[in-house]
């Protein structure tokens, strides 16, 4: 029989065991120690109150990591990882975890539930669809490595300016901020991130971006991660605005670094810009949502 406990009712070691066994043999290495697990809880806005662990015969058998926050005036939940240990699969653990998560969402007044799933993971996607989730977009992890001999960006005339001394929470005042993009790209997950806003000739905001520079243990710039870089949808020059901001973020592309864009929605205008600059796809996922009635 499956027993479900809130994460706050479990030891940290039990939660980490549930995570590591639940994602053993996954599409990429998801193994974490207790420090990494705790950091992920904090950095991604996950909750010990809403996350749950399944037990069978007293042994951690699986878990769901959940977070809930307000986005665009709606309460939104994110399933930040569902894992079931191989030993306990086909025993109803996955279904029990999803059902309990949905029960918690309803108790907390959640209006929209979201998650991502690896595109090849057809069994998981089918299970989520069984519980009312639908695929709303395709997502891709994009990457551009190394120093380029010539910048792929041709600078346009000075039609725009940049506001660089920006606090991340200022994005909420932008009518075109993509708050319903995947959870991990939200500004609220942007610890250590930088922000900028593009302005037109009248100093009106027409675009925004948030990104983070990562450094090696020796202090060398190794990665730049762009979480969102979008322009106002009413603008006909959206490509140019997005390219202008990326030119500021990446400079002339001469640095020998890795440039990353996690969970880029294929439907977004920025996706085509990234691909045009030479970014390559490393991982494909689906973005799924469920209206909670």
Q: Within 13 Å and on the Cβ side, how many CA atoms surround 270? A: 26
Taking alpha carbons only, the member of 175, 168, 282 closest to residue 228 is 168
Provide Rg for the chain, Cα atoms. Answer: 20
Q: Which residue has tokens 């990429």? A: 28
Strands 221-231 and 205-215, bridge-based pairing? antiparallel
What tokens does 165 get?
């001394």
* Structural domains for the chain: 2-110 (3.40.630.30), 141-286 (3.40.630.30)
- In tens digits, the chain (293 residues) has pLDDT values of 899 999 999 999 999 999 999 999 988 899 999 999 999 999 999 999 999 999 999 999 999 999 999 998 899 999 999 999 999 998 999 999 999 999 999 999 999 999 999 999 999 999 999 999 999 999 999 999 999 999 999 876 678 999 999 999 999 999 999 999 999 999 999 888 999 999 999 999 999 999 999 999 999 999 999 999 999 999 999 999 999 999 999 999 999 999 999 999 999 999 999 999 999 999 999 999 999 97
Taking alpha carbons only, the member of 112, 279, 82 closest to residue 179 is 112
Q: Are 135 and 286 in contact (CB under 8 A)?
A: yes
Q: Are 14 and 53 in contact (CB under 8 A)?
A: yes
Which tens digits make up the pLDDT trace of 79-90?
Answer: 999 999 999 998
Entry pTM: 0.94
For residues 69 and 46, what is the distance between their CA atoms, to the nearest angstrom?
10
């Amino acid at each position: 029989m499956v027993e479900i406990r809130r994460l706050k009712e479990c030891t940290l070691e039990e939660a980490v065991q549930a995570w590591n066994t639940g994602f053993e043999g996954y599409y990429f290495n998801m193994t974490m120690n207790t420090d990494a697990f705790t950091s992920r809880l904090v950095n991604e806005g996950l909750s010990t109150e809403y996350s749950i662990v399944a037990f069978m015969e007293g042994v951690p058998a699986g878990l769901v990591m959940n977070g809930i926050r307000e986005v665009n005036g709606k309460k939104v939940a994110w399933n930040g990882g569902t894992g079931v240990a191989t030993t306990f699969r086909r025993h109803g653990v996955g279904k029990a975890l999803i059902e309990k998560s949905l029960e918690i969402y309803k108790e907390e007044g959640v209006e929209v539930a979201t998650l991502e799933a690896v595109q090849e993971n057809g069994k998981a996607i089918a299970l989520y669809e069984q519980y009312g989730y639908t695929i709303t977009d395709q997502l891709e992890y994009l990457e551009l490595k190394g120093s380029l001999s010539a910048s792929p960006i041709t600078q346009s005339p000075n039609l725009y300016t940049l506001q660089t001394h920006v606090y991340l929470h200022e994005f909420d005042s932008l009518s075109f901020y993509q708050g319903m993009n995947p959870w991990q790209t939200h500004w609220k997950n942007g610890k250590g991130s930088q922000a900028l806003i593009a302005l037109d000739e009248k100093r009106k905001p027409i675009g925004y971006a948030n990104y983070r520079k990562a450094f090696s243990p020796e202090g060398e710039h190794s990665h730049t991660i762009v979480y969102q870089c979008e322009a106002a949808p009413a603008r006909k020059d959206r490509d140019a605005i997005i390219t202008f901001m990326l030119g500021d973020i990446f400079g002339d592309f001469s640095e020998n670094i890795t440039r990353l864009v996690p969970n880029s929605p294929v439907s977004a205008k920025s996706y085509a810009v990234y691909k045009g600059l030479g970014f390559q796809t490393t991982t494909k996922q689906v973005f799924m949502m469920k209206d909670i009635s």
